[in-house]
A and B are shown apart, each in its own frame.
Chain A
Amino acid sequence: MGLLSIYFKPNFLGLLKCLNKLNWFIVFFSLINLSVCIYEDQIGKFDWRQTYVGRIKFSQFDTVSTAKKIIVATEENVLAALNLKTGQVVWRHVFESASTGNIQLLQITEKVVTVSGSNPYLVRGWNSATGVLQFEWSLTLQNDEQADFSEWWVQNDMLVHMLPVFGSHIEVTMYNLATGQNKGSTTKLPAVWSNDGCIVTAPYYTCIHGPMGNQQLFSLDVTSNTMHLISQPLSEYVTLSSYDGNLRPLDGNGILPAFTIDDKKIIMIKNSQFEMLKTDVVDPSASVAIVDVANGPAVLQTWIDDTQGFSMRANSVSTGAEVAELRTSDRELRLPDPEVSSAVCTKSAREQLVCRVLLTGGDDSVHLMQQGGRILWSREEALANVVAAEFVELPVSDLDAAIESEFDQKEAAKMYSSIWAAFSRRLQTQFQQLQTLVHSIQSGEVLEDDPPSALVRDYFGLHKIIVLVTDVGKIFGMDNLSGSILWQYYESSLDTENVLVYTRRTARHPPHDAYLTVVGKHEETGNGLIISLNPITGSLIGERVLQLDVQLLQVAVLHKADNEKLHALILLDKDENVQILPQSAAPLVENMFMYVAERNTARVQGYAIIYNGQTVEALRTWLVQLGGSAEAGHRIVAAAGKPGGERVHSPGRVLADRSVLYKYVNPNLVLFVTEGPDPLHKDVVVATCVDAASGAIIAAQAHRRARALPYVVHTEHYLAYLYYNDKHRRTEIATVELYEGKQRWSGAGAAFTSLWAERAAAVERLAYILPAAPAAAAVTHTERSLTDKHVLLALTSGAIVEVPWAYLEGRRGGGEEGAMLPAPAPEIMLAPEARLNYNRTLARPRQLYTAPAGLESTSLVLATGLDLFYTRVAPSKTFDLLKDDFDYYLITIVLAALIVATYSTKYFASRKMLKLAWK
């Protein structure tokens, strides 16, 4: 010990210094700890995933295997097995999203057989229990133009391919199902009566042919060896005068070859004869299917009755008698255009009919109904195709609102002029608070398991409502914490291409409700269609559903709110007229600009929106032809402005030498990424930063031999966009940072003006290699932008990766801040720890949405695509929140021990003093 002390004594100061340094290093490293990931016990704590399959195209009950399932094939090119009892996905295979993945046939024999693609076709067989691929073979048709009219079905373990050549003949080829053998042996059946209105009801091919007024109904069994053509005059079934030529196969998986004529009569082919059923089609829109019920097959029909709502009924095929068990009418069930996808009926042990009917609606929803009309489960498959999403704040509870209004200065001045009124009010609210506290304590234990029924803002602002607009025109309100659907609204006439969603009034302004507007197009006319809802309840408010009589060019929200705290909507229509919703907000229009970018010509037109005393009008101010001249043939792949209401916390960044580099923060900046052909370099990608108020080009850069990808990130002074480098065959991410320089252009706090263009922003740029295929990009947003920004990338592999901006910085010159940053690398590391969705792989991610939470450290993330995934990220760790593994017990024990120690030492000290005094 002595030796040690001697050794250390002269160096004691040095040691202290050393320790101090070490300590700084540790503090420092913990600050720039860039790894962001969760603990294993946090799985599902902050996130959820919902898996969808898409609108159902084909479905069939798999009653063979022990675990009962429904096998479905969907418009989204997905093959999946759904649990019959719960409706959950048992297994799922996602095919290519392009036409190569289109599923043409789903048939269940002892295996699940699919035909997918569009010349070449792929025939695959799957194990229905496990979903593992059993066999697979490819088939290329020589006749490529006609291939789209191909029909497929499986018959006696043979795959039948039928290719009609209209007006001439039918080619029928049979293949061995498992191996694809017997290629080439095609039988050609003459069929001059075939046309494009023909239908297949396996194995029959049925057409209506003949001169007007004398049409004949033809039908041919294409698989039989002897060609036997059935033909009957059409007038036997329908009156030809009212006939409009509508031949429709039955829905579901027909167990009998049957079809409907003119949506009125049902005709079955039996013993090579047409046979008209005794049951007629109830309603022209009804979905008709044939189901095998206990005593012979029955015709099952569903439709929406004007008075009765959803209706279903079944009639026996042979007798026409109604099957009582299947009669249903339900006014509550909201199921537009119901369609029987498949149905199965069995007899239970007690001779009761047990039926399962899978219904799909025009809103892409799927319901499994049992006899008697009870819905066993429902799936909202519209959510597989989300086109827009918006996070909406919840209102504060009534009590909080009362307190807030008390402290609202204007209100207080109005209402509580006397001090006594204010005092009594204070007492009142405190009494209310006490009451709710007592109430919560009393009922706290009981209600613990129940979900929070009241939709009120929580303390940290983490609880929000996600409004999702889906492709089919259904709008959902979803609880972000649980992922449960709170409300839904279906507007069948809404075309959601380029749909825009605006929160025009948040829930912060009681007594006014929150106000959300969806701006889309009308499905038929293409005119503007505006839907205004209360995002908390889903009820229509304000303008409700407004159909404009013009097509819209551009929409914006006025930055100033009117008396009712509502932000007006500015609509620029095709004739460059401006409409304001509501009209009364017109005088508020001031300093507004808009731009309209034409996607295919890369022409960007700027407008100034001006109020001239009576009306609001749009003036053309600037015009930019991106990518050079119009002949250059560029097209806009992506355009990204700054998110509305974005805050920038610090106007500059501090460099290693303690000088400040000021950011160029232009709120009007828009990044356009265009792509066009180039005589020398094949394709070029040009990124242009345009000031949307003045039309000035702030920065531009080109990438040769590259293809643009529509993934752009734009926030503060950062820009990033992705492109595919054809030369090196890799995806690259180009990052741009704009700086004013070491001196500020305008004074602190002065508003930015686009019109002052004497100085150009300094552009710092770099490109990095992304070793994966991207599917979407976004950046985190926090309440006050104090926190770091992280870029979120969704990859086609199904991962969402969080990349800190430090890895992507466009400013990497000089070694002066080298110590602060991770080692520069040309390739971005995509570590598994940075995967937000860990092993919950997302199928076909399409878009990422981020929103700030009430907590500064936290940003909410929603990934859409075939699956929905929600989580929250803390780019700089949750510095404003205790860790969730914080040991409350330990700190309580330590505190208690300290208090005890203090008092005991006090006691002992006094004893000692006493003893000393006695001495």
Chain B
Amino acid sequence: MKQILSILFAVCTFSEVLSAVNLQEEEVGNGRYSIEGKVFPPEEQDLLPWQVDTRVHVNGGEYIGFVRDDGTFVIHNVPSGSYVVEILHPDYMYEPVRVEINSKGKFRARKVNYIQTSQVIQVPYPLRLKALTKYRYFQVREQWRLTDFLFNPMVIMMVLPLLFIMILPKMMNDPETKEDLKQISNLAKMSDMPEMSEMFTSLFSGGATAKASAAKAKQVKKRQ
């Protein structure tokens, strides 16, 4: 009996110490806690008070908090557990945060990760929540632009063959391009030149080697 009493006493003192430690967490009693944080408004905020439109939902509206003038919010009377805190604003996106309160009243805030639920990336508590971006709800109306029209695949499909059909034959008729083409073909011949010279040299050097070279050429051909 004495032992039990002493154990009880020890437990009592221990819990007292714990509650003393947790005083700063603002314990309300009956294991009810308060989630605290501050919401930072979007920078390009409008004149109307953004605090009215901003709501704090815990676990999808199980607990609801409201934002004060300075952006702070408190959600009272939350029992220990794991909660997703969302800041809802019609125009701005905030990242949700998971707040975990253990049975001793310790707080831990981390990023919400629904896929790897065990992954912990801590964020500071009391929460400090900043608007990420403005929601883009709308499609941007396409404006008629010449470049869009020209680079439209359909138009390209139509125009390019037209070019090939109409312009190429005309270019063929054009004397300048003819010369151009000739030059190009000359160039092509030029590229043949060294081979020809080789042929000549082989011709002059003698039949045997020529045969050998011919065989070589054949080999080359085969390789090709």
A interface residues, Cβ below 8 angstroms from B: 1-3, 5-6, 12, 15-16, 19-20, 22-23, 26, 35, 37-41, 91, 93-98, 100-101, 117, 120, 122, 124, 130-134, 136, 138, 140, 728-730, 769, 771-773, 775, 795-798, 826-827, 832-833, 835, 838-841, 844, 885
Contacts and interface: CB of A to CB of B under 8 A. Distances in A.
Contacts of B141: 39-41, 885
Contact of B154 (A23, A130, A773, A835): A23
B137 A91 contact: no
B184 A133 contact: no
Interface string B58-85: 0111111011110000101100001010
Contacts of B82: 729
Contacts of B64: 94-96, 101
Given A2-B177, A93-B66, A827-B115, A832 B77 contact: no
Interface stretch (B5-13, B155-163, B194-202, B214-222): B155-163
Contacts of A775: 60
B134 to A, nearest CB: 9
A37 B139 contact: yes
A771 B114 CA distance: 7
Interface in B40-60: 49, 51-52, 55, 57, 59-60
A728 B112 CA distance: 11
A-side interface mostly: mixed
Interface bracket on B: 35 or more
Nearest to B112: A771
A26 B153 CA distance: 8
Contacts of A844: 61
A832 B137 contact: yes
Nearest to B172: A5
B32 A120 contact: yes
A280 B77 CA distance: 47
Contacts of A6: 184
8 contacts: A2-B184, A96-B62, A132-B67, A136-B74, A138-B77, A773-B61, A795-B60, A835-B135
Given A771-B114, A827-B114, A833 B139 contact: yes
A133 B51 contact: yes
A91 B161 CA distance: 63
B93 interface: yes
A38 B136 CA distance: 11
B30 A140 contact: yes
Contacts of A136: 66, 68, 74, 76
Nearest to B154: A23
B181 interface: yes
Contact of A138 (B60, B76, B93, B184): B76
A133 B139 contact: no
Contacts of A838: 135, 137-138
Contacts of B180: 2
Contacts of A39: 138-141
Contacts of B140: 39-40
A5 B28 CA distance: 83
B56 to A, nearest CB: 11
Contacts of A12: 164
Contacts of B124: none
A38 B154 contact: no
A138 B28 CA distance: 8
B137 A835 contact: yes
Contacts of A769: 114-115
A23 B171 CA distance: 29
A19 B156 contact: yes
Nearest to A22: B153
B175 interface: no
Contact of B153 (A1, A19, A773, A826): A19
A534 B90 CA distance: 39
A96 B60 CA distance: 10
Contacts of A839: 90-91, 135, 137
Contacts of B115: 769, 826-827
Given A120-B76, A827-B115, A773 B34 contact: no
